[in-house]
A and B are shown apart, each in its own frame.
Chain A
Amino acid sequence: MNEMRDAATQTSERANAVETTYREAVREAIRDALRRDDRVFLMGEDVGRYGGCYAVSKGLLAEFGPERIRDTPLSESGFTGAGIGAAMAGMRPIVELMTVNFSLLALDQILNSAATIRHMSGNQFGVPLVIRMATGAGRQLAAQHSHSLEGWYAHIPGIKVLAPATVEDARGMLWTALQDPDPVLIFENVMLYNMTGGLAAAAGPVEIDKAAVRRMGDDITLITYGGSLWKTLAAAEALQGDAINAEVIDLRSLRPLDNDTILASVRKTRRALIVDEGWRSGSLAAEVCARIVEGAFFELDAPIGRVCSEEVPIPYARHLEEAAIPQTSKIVAAVKAIFGKAR
């Protein structure tokens, strides 16, 4: 986690920045949306009296009341469906699914209803719904509670999938997502909630359809998103010592993917490595890889690399869990291999 703090420190050096956590930035985004639009409400398991399982919505019940901060029964399919209905009827619901692990119980609602209704109704109905959920491993929550399935959701036409990795994006993506006429899923990596960073006092909505170049470089493009961004940036710094100047792209939006930013960078550096906490086979990393080959094959000077999670149920033991998911050292080694260098 040191690399996260370092990166956060750099961000905080900006003028007029207020030191804030990712958790506080998400909470501020929800509070702002609730204030600006009375159609907006938050619902989910434990979001009210308990304050959210990651304490994101702490204090919101007292501020906005039970009509707008709604605790739900343990029935993801039920309350996600309720959110879809409310959105179709003109509300702007924020549904919190606690974690991606439990979102599987709402998958039918998301895939078969939310993503398809505009199509099935001949454009008579849309679902302007935002679904937030935590994702990722790293907290020793074992195999059933450590999934990174955002890549699965990015497979589905009809929805947008966002992965805020910075406090600015945690603060800014929600409002823009609520303005979208179709469902938007926001994945918040569990390892980021405690990360601190500088947030401009006037921080507000950000655009959600462009990737961001988080570090400029000429020798290789490292493409990542969410919790892996900070590990990747740390790897890029470490590689500087080997005279490898890496460019780092934060995808931000996993669906749609910002092809232009990815391809422009790879055409410049001629090499690419994708860092994705999802399992390797059929991963979002595989999709990015395919798009690079389709769009920049003749520009490539080396095979495209991937650093993904090992294809095992995520272990409980800390050292095994760490070994199973992308780490800075793995990224450094994979980049060196692309350059034909020994570890």
Chain B
Amino acid sequence: MTDGLVDFTMPSLGSDMEAGTLVEWLVRPRDKVKRGDIVAVVETQKGAIEIEVFEDGEIAEILVEPGQKVPVGTPLARVRKGVPASAAAEAVAAAAAPPPPRAPAPEPKVVAPRRKEGRVLASPAARELARSLGVDLAKIEGSGPGGAIVRADIVGRATAPEEKKPIGLDLAAMREAISAAMARSKREIPHYYLQHQIDVTPSEEWLARTNAGRQPADRLLFAVVAMKAVALALKRFPQFNGFWREGKFEPAAAVHVGLAIAIRGGGLAAPALHDVDRLSLDELMTRLRDLVPRMRAGRIRGSEMADATITVSSLGERGVEALFGVIYPPQVALVGFGTIVRRPWLTENEVRARSVVTITLAADHRVSDGHAGALFLDEIGKLVQEPEKL
């Protein structure tokens, strides 16, 4: 890295992502970028994902060409930081100025296969780990003495060369990713399950009134009421919002709700809606309308894939009454909303036809217990019944 230049690396778009294929650059060298700009499209097992840049500056150099598959952490481009957006000529002056603070050192690099003479230098512990993970040491760049591969170079970055795939959703790869994540979840997470039935007739009536004067594109769905209720309940029950990492629970400060979205043909993904607790129902609805079609088209942003702090799965109109979810690791809880059904229901000592939804909780028993889970579900139930207060 020279002064003012930072690496823009292949991001990790989920705990199970090991590598991604650069599909398309949306910028060229000398283009000005600012933090949050979408600069490239990356193909992962979950589909094509638009990735954002985290620096203000200018693209200095493109390092990876479209079509190349590289492991997480590989530099994709270099960004010259802090170049004034107005004057390209000032870039020279900026380069001569004192260097800005360096970005954090990039993760140890994994490179394209090395066709090196002789044997690969690797520690015994690294070899043992590589063998157990099925990692080819020849493709890993060592950070140890003399460039030897040490354990840290391998942990979590197993790679294998694959055939180039067409752009868009790859359902087979997505199935593989789901299978890995769900098997890990059931292997590692001691789930417990709770269910709670709620009369949501008032909520439905409120939605009908609210939507009455609106164009179809502006109408609110019960799903946003459900998500907002979960997000607000999490503020009182933070032990369901966060991650289990390295043997302990890390509560998350923000509430990013992963919404399970079924993909036609048999896929499933749970991209995140950010800061759900702070958005109004209308704002949430706008985000949802933006997110779902993008997900189904396989164009999703990196940050949306990676950072959900809890998952909500809503079966919508064509499902069954209740679902008992499998937690998406490293999250610690999943809230399920069954299909709203019309049922005979006792209100004020009379049996009436009411709209009833079954809310379920699958939670990680390492982090929380059934008692807390019950209070959490009860809180969600209360919030759902009063959507006007959300």
Residue among B125, B145, B150, B152 making CB contact with A299, cutoff 8 Å: B125
Residue among A298, A302, A303, A337 making CB contact with B128, cutoff 8 Å: A298
- B145 and A337 form a contact (CB under 8 A): yes
By beta carbon, the residue of chain B nearest A267 is: B125
A301 CB-CB contact with B under 8 Å: yes
In the complex, how many angstroms separate the beta carbon of A93 from the nearest chain B beta carbon? Answer: 48
- A301 and B151 form a contact (CB under 8 A): yes
A238 CB-CB contact with B under 8 Å: no
- A298 and B124 form a contact (CB under 8 A): yes
Query: Which one of B124, B143, B147 has the greatest number of beta carbons of chain A within 10 Å?
Result: B124
In the complex, how many angstroms separate the beta carbon of A334 from the nearest chain B beta carbon? Answer: 11
A299-341: CB near B (< 8 Å → 1, else 0) gives 1111100000000000000000000000000000000011110
- B123 and A301 form a contact (CB under 8 A): yes
By beta carbon, the residue of chain B nearest A338 is: B145
B66-91: CB near A (< 8 Å → 1, else 0) gives 00000000000000000000000000
Chain B residues with CB below 8 A from A64, complex form: none
Residue among A300, A337, A338, A339 making CB contact with B124, cutoff 8 Å: A300
How many positions in chain B have a CB within 8 Å of any CB in the partner chain? Answer: 14
Chain A residues with CB below 8 A from B126, complex form: 301
CA distance A245 to B144 in the complex (A): 17
By beta carbon, the residue of chain A nearest B142 is: A340
A152 CB-CB contact with B under 8 Å: no
CA distance A297 to B144 in the complex (A): 17
- A340 and B125 form a contact (CB under 8 A): no
- B150 and A303 form a contact (CB under 8 A): no
CA distance A142 to B283 in the complex (A): 83
Given contact pairs A270-B151, A301-B151, A340 touches B124 in the complex (Cβ within 8 A): no
Given contact pairs A270-B151, A301-B123, A301-B151, A339 touches B128 in the complex (Cβ within 8 A): no
Chain B residues with CB below 8 A from A339, complex form: 144-145
B146 CB-CB contact with A under 8 Å: yes
CA distance A298 to B150 in the complex (A): 12
By beta carbon, the residue of chain B nearest A337 is: B145
Residue among A298, A300, A340 making CB contact with B146, cutoff 8 Å: A340
- B128 and A340 form a contact (CB under 8 A): no
CB neighbors of B among A121-179 (8 A): none
By beta carbon, the residue of chain A nearest B150 is: A301
Chain B residues with CB below 8 A from A300, complex form: 123-125
Chain A residues with CB below 8 A from B145, complex form: 302-303, 337-340
- B124 and A297 form a contact (CB under 8 A): yes
By beta carbon, the residue of chain B nearest A300 is: B124
CB neighbors of B among A238-280 (8 A): 270
Chain B residues with CB below 8 A from A338, complex form: 145
CB neighbors of A among B131-176 (8 A): 143-148, 150-152
CA distance A340 to B150 in the complex (A): 10
CA distance A270 to B129 in the complex (A): 13
CA distance A301 to B151 in the complex (A): 6
- A301 and B146 form a contact (CB under 8 A): no
In the complex, how many angstroms separate the beta carbon of B120 from the nearest chain A beta carbon? Answer: 15
B213-244: CB near A (< 8 Å → 1, else 0) gives 00000000000000000000000000000000
- A298 and B144 form a contact (CB under 8 A): no
Chain A residues with CB below 8 A from B143, complex form: 340
B247-279: CB near A (< 8 Å → 1, else 0) gives 000000000000000000000000000000000
In the complex, how many angstroms separate the beta carbon of A290 from the nearest chain B beta carbon? Answer: 15
CA distance A297 to B143 in the complex (A): 20
CA distance A103 to B130 in the complex (A): 51
In the complex, how many angstroms separate the beta carbon of A320 from the nearest chain B beta carbon? Answer: 29
CA distance A339 to B144 in the complex (A): 6
In the complex, how many angstroms separate the beta carbon of B127 from the nearest chain A beta carbon? Answer: 8
By beta carbon, the residue of chain B nearest A297 is: B124
CA distance A300 to B144 in the complex (A): 12
- A340 and B144 form a contact (CB under 8 A): yes
CA distance A302 to B122 in the complex (A): 9
Chain B residues with CB below 8 A from A299, complex form: 124-125
CA distance A83 to B5 in the complex (A): 74
In the complex, how many angstroms separate the beta carbon of B102 from the nearest chain A beta carbon? Answer: 16
In the complex, how many angstroms separate the beta carbon of A98 from the nearest chain B beta carbon? Answer: 43
By beta carbon, the residue of chain A nearest B129 is: A301
Chain A residues with CB below 8 A from B146, complex form: 340
CA distance A301 to B144 in the complex (A): 9
Query: Nearest 9 CB-CB pairs, A to B?
Result: A301-B125, A340-B145, A301-B123, A340-B144, A301-B150, A301-B151, A298-B124, A300-B124, A298-B128
Q: Could you tell me which A residues sit within 8 Å of B by CB distance?
A: 270, 297-303, 337-340
Please give 18 more A-B residue pairs, beta carbons under 8 A apart, in addition to A300-B124, A301-B152, A339-B145: A270-B123, A270-B125, A297-B124, A298-B125, A298-B128, A299-B124, A301-B126, A301-B144, A302-B123, A302-B144, A302-B145, A302-B148, A302-B150, A337-B145, A339-B144, A340-B143, A340-B145, A340-B146
User: What are 17 A-B interface contacts by the 8 Å CB criterion?
Assistant: A270-B151, A298-B125, A298-B128, A299-B124, A300-B123, A300-B124, A301-B125, A301-B126, A301-B150, A302-B150, A303-B145, A337-B145, A338-B145, A340-B143, A340-B146, A340-B147, A340-B148
Q: Could you tell me which B residues sit within 8 Å of A by CB distance?
A: 123-126, 128, 143-148, 150-152
